[in-house]
Amino acid sequence: MPLIVMCGYPCSGKTRRAEELKGYFEQKSGRQVHIVGDEALGVERNSVYADSQKEKNTRAALKAEVERKVNKDDIVIFDSLNYIKGYRYELFCLIKHAQTPHCLVYCLTSDEVSSTWNTNRDAAEQYTQDLFDALVLRFEAPDSRNRWDSPLFTILKDDTLPFEDISDAIFKRKAPPPNQSTQSQPLSSSNFLYELDKITQDMLMAIFNAQKTSVPGDLISVPGATEKIELTRNINMAELRKLRRQFISYTKMHPTENTGQIANMFVQYLNKSLH
């Protein structure tokens, strides 16, 4: 039966979401749900992910375990970083061969939030900071225009999982045919991308300048948005730029027809990411 692939930064909430999905599908479908991941295989992350050969061997072992678990009756949730585009393509080839649907659940967080969650873990479960930073740099974000990353569900840290939509994606879709040809999907219009870039850049400068005369806790107004930004602390330009890049990546995957919504969407994203 179907495969659900988790994806995201280290410490981005993937395991928590995998457990939520497991509970939902066990209750609603009555099927057995298997979670395959680093913890199940006893992966020592600071050793494995710091050594390219060990990591390659671990990825192969995880994929083999997924392949063993995929069958006509059960649901498999693959809970690992899955941060390499080529590896996600290999998983797509696997489900094509098994003739079963799949979907990708992307736990989207800022690297600052994930880093905080990492340091809040028990010491034995933490990534070293150097390794954490390296994995964030290596991360290749999923793109719904790629057939191996689709259907894609992007989940922010405070979102409720869209259980019914995920269920429809894996139960009501046909499995991809073994020899499915690549179907390119249209890119967002150049005007949309221009507006996205311009609006978010203008907002960044407004936030940065507003902080010079405000204190933590103030509500900041930004151009084009009816909603206000709630800043609980001062944020430097480097962090603002990182959040902007992540928002742009997310929005390119889920473009809106109304560019007038971009400013409010960015405000909502910042408020969720900064709290």
Residue 179's pLDDT band, with cuts at 50, 70 and 90, is very low
Closest C-alpha to 85, from 14, 166, 16, 145 = 145
Q: Which residues pair with 259 in a beta bridge?
A: none
Q: pLDDT tens, 133-149?
A: 999 999 999 999 898 99
| Higher-pLDDT residue of 256, 273 | 273
pLDDT tens sequence across 69-93: 998 789 999 999 999 999 999 999 8
What is the per-residue pLDDT across 217-264, written as a single tens digit (0 to 9) for each?
Answer: 889 899 889 989 988 888 888 888 989 988 888 887 777 767 788 899
Residues with Cβ within 8 Å of residue 255, at least 6 apart in sequence: 188, 192
pLDDT at 259: 78
pLDDT tens for residues 35-74?
A: 999 887 888 999 999 999 999 999 999 999 999 999 878 9
Tell me the pLDDT tens digit for each residue of 180-207.
Answer: 333 333 344 557 777 888 899 999 999 9
Cα distance from N-terminal residue to C-terminal residue, the chain: 38
**Strand, coil or helix: 214:** coil
Burial class (CB in 10 A: 0-12, 13-18, 19+), 42: exposed
Question: Could you tell me which residue, 271 or 253, shows the higher pLDDT?
Answer: 271
**What was the pLDDT predicted at 257?**
67
Which residues are CB-neighbours of 154 under 8 A, at least 6 positions away?
106, 108, 250, 253, 254
Number of C-beta neighbours around residue 141 at 10 A = 19
In this prediction, residues 171-175 reach a mean pLDDT of 85
For residue 165, what are its two tokens?
């939509």
